Each structure stands twice: as structure tokens, then as C-alpha cells.
Amino acid sequence: MTRVKICGIAEFEDARDAVLLGADAIGLNFWPNSPRYVDASKASKIIEKLPPFVTFVGIFVNHPDPTNLEDFALSLGLHAVQLHGNETPDYCSMIQRVKVIKAMRVDSNFRVDSLRTYGNGTFLLDACSPGLGGSGEVFDWNLVYGANAFGSIIIAGGLTIENVPQVINTLHPFGVDVASGVESRPGKKDYEKMRRFIEAVQRTDVELMGAP
């Protein structure tokens, strides 16, 4: 089954609704330049109020010290860190106590075999945009065929209720990641959009299981 991550959560009510609707993971953005930024205090309160069986993912960009980043993640109760900067394979390998999701920006220069240098990890493939994610831009999915051979693949970048069935049918990713596609404005989630997005993913999975 395709996992769903609702990213850029900035309010507890949105996190609660996402979980109740069936989201597997919640993304909390710790990059100060993001319109979806949350500080540690607010993130901690969101995490504390949510029930078990939810995966909490922190989004970071070029944090200078991987050990300090790991300590910060553990202190908040994050299960994974999602790295959107220029973090090298060596940097990623220094983080051992929480899972690492390495975000890769896909454009015409992207090569699937570049994932090999990071080992058999988890990769979020996103559109190449100035804002480092959450732009609502879709990349050319043809550029990432075969990515599943190099690890667990999460697709992001302009996903919506309308196009998420196509990306699941085309790429069969481990998960899909959505922010702007389920928002009324940056950082504010829309309940109906989240509901319809998650239902679209679940319906597509059921159809795939029934396919001959």
C-alpha cells in the first residue's frame, strides 16, 4: 500500500485531521525560510498531542552538524529527518539513530543511478524549484523510472487529487508526499482536500491489487 505523508503541517488541528483521515506521516518544516516553518516548541506540542502509530518527519536544509541535528530530532520525538539541501552521502551516513530521507531535486540533469552513492536508503524525489519543495510544481516522472531499484522512493512535487492516481500507477512508489496540493494557503491544510487526496491514494491501491 502507498504511504501518505502530509507535509508542511503548522497547526495541531491540521495534524489531527490528517491522522484521522488516514495519513501515515506528518511533515514538520524546520527550515526558517519556509512559509510552513514551525519552531521546536510548537512542533513539540503538535507531536505530544497526537496518538501513537504516527510517523513524524522533520524537514531540514543544510544543517551544519549532523550529530546536533540527530540530537534535536530525538529530543522532539521525530522518527525521521528529511534533508533538502546539499547533504552528502557521508553526512547522511553519520545520522544513525533516526531514519534519513534524502530529498533529490529532479530536473533534466537528474540521473537515477546517482541514488546509488547514498546506499540503499529512502529518497524523496521532488521538482527542482527555488523554494526547495512545496512549490506545487510537477517534475517529469519519466526521469525517475527505475528509481525503486535504489531504495524506497517517495514522490513529491505538485501532487493533487487529480494526478496522484497517475503517479502511483506509473511509478509504484513506496509513498507520496503532499503539501500545497491539500492547502487553502501555505501552512494551512484544507480538510476536504486532504480527505479526497488520501481516498484517491487508497482507491488507486485497491484498483491495482485487483488488476489482472
Among 7, 14, 17, 177, the one annotated catalytic: 7
Q: Which one-letter DSSP state was computed for residue 51?
A: P
Active site residue 126: yes
**3-state secondary structure string across 77-142:** CCCEEEECCCCCHHHHHCCCCCEEEEEEEECCCCCHHHHHHHCCEEEEEEECCCCCCCCCCCCCHH
Report the distance separating Cα 1 and Cα 136, nearest Å.
24
Query: What separation in angstroms does the CA of 132 have from each of 98, 108, 150, 163, 190?
Result: 22, 17, 22, 21, 22
- Hey, what's the cell of 194? 486532504
Catalytic site residue from 14, 17, 24, 126: 126
* Cα-based angle 121, 142, 176 (whole degrees, multiple of 5): 50
Separation between Cα atoms, residue 61 and residue 90, nearest integer Å: 16
Is residue 65 among the annotated active site residues?
A: no
CB atoms within 10 A of CB 24: 18
Catalytic positions are 7, 126
